[in-house]
Structure 1
Amino acid sequence: MQIRAITPDDHAVLCALWRRTPGIQLRSDDEYAPFCRYLARNPGLSLLVEAEGVPVACLLVGHDGRRGYLQHLVVDVPWRGRGLARALVDEALRRLAEQGVVKSHVFVLDDAPEALAFWQAQSRWGLRSDIRVFSTREAQA
């Protein structure tokens, strides 16, 4: 198995992995064009693990220059329990640190109990109780 950077060519297989993973919600931002823009904006940061050429785990990673953002951390069911998620997170944080980004965030859906359990078990990650997230899909004119 190896960790490598995600490329635009990985989009279809990653979408299939995300679709079969409970707790992952796909939105229009996960379509091909936005996916490619995200990768171009954050070169070499989004990662996948392959076993015999087949992606079995992935993590989308980006930053705004100050904070890192981790999204869509997925390990396919047959590959869980082998430390792949932790390896992806460690590699992502290492790559972010190389770019001077040392603080990161992950947003976890309330209806994703396995994801919540994973992040709560990570000693260096703490649940924030001092903020709320507000989102919009509309651009200002």
Structure 2
Amino acid sequence: MTTTRDATAADRDAVVAIWEACGLTRPWNDSDADFRRALDHEASTVIVAERGARIVATAMTGFDGHRGWIYYLGVAPDHQGQGLARQLLDAACEWLRLRGCPKVELMLRDGNPVSGLYEHLGWEQQDVRVFARWLT
């Protein structure tokens, strides 16, 4: 049986290991700090899926007051293809819905091989560009 819950600080190593195994990390991002910041703010969280005592999937979500975002959605390679991505997306959307969020967007890097999965699950690609600027 798979259950979902908000992550705790004790889950950091398992969560970051899944992000790394799924190719979601980048050398210029501090994944440990990303995890910590998500837990430190009430407008964001990291949701984990567990089977037994093992974390097998994870997603970061947050709500900025205008719309919700989902990042770092990853499923342990040996658990992929079992519906965990859908379960995490549903859990993240429910977390956002409970906070009054009207719309959610999923951040996905160009070339990510699982983009078809999101389309299959009813997500639509948007005609927007994301611009970034480092603050630190």
Please tell me whether residue 118 in structure 1 is matched to residue 117 in structure 2.
yes
* Cα displacement string for residues 25-68 of structure 1 (whole angstroms, at most 9, x for unaligned residues): 23434224x42222121367421111121110111111101211
User: Any stretches of 5+ residues in structure 2 without a counterpart?
Assistant: none
Bigger Rg over Cα: 1
> Contact 1:50–1:57 at 8 Å: present in 2 too?
yes
TM-score (norm 2): 0.88
Contact 2:59 2:74 (8 Å CA) reproduced: yes
Residue identity matched to 2:134: R
CA distance in 2, matches of 1:5, 1:135: 28
The 2-side partners of 1:127 and 1:43 are apart by 24
* Structure-to-structure mapping, 1:26-105, within 5 angstroms: 26=26, 27-32=28-33, 34-42=34-42, 45-105=45-105
What one-letter code is carried by the residue in structure 2 that aligns with 1:117? G
Instruction: Give runs of ≥4 in structure 1 deviating > 6 Å.
Output: none
The answer on whether the counterparts of 2:67 and 2:105 sit within 8 Å (CA) in structure 1 is: yes
Per-residue CA deviation, residues 61-90 of structure 1 (Å, 9 max, x unaligned), is: 111012111001111122122211111111
Whether the 8 Å contact between 2:68 and 2:104 is mirrored in structure 1 is yes
Task: Report how many aligned residue pairs link the two structures.
Answer: 134
SS of the residue aligned with 1:138? Answer: coil
Distance 1:3 1:13 in 2: 14
Answer yes or no: is the 8 Å Cα contact 1:11–1:35 preserved in 2.
yes
Which segments of 5 or more consecutive residues in structure 1 lack a partner in the other structure? none
Instruction: Output the aligned Cα RMSD.
Output: 1.8
For residue 25 of structure 2, what is the aligned residue in structure 1? 25
Counterparts of 1:136 and 1:31 in 2: how far apart (Å)? 20
Tell me the equivalent position of 2:15: 14
Identity %: 27
**How far apart are residue 103 of structure 1 and its match?**
0.4
Partners of 2:102 and 2:113 lie apart in 1 by 27
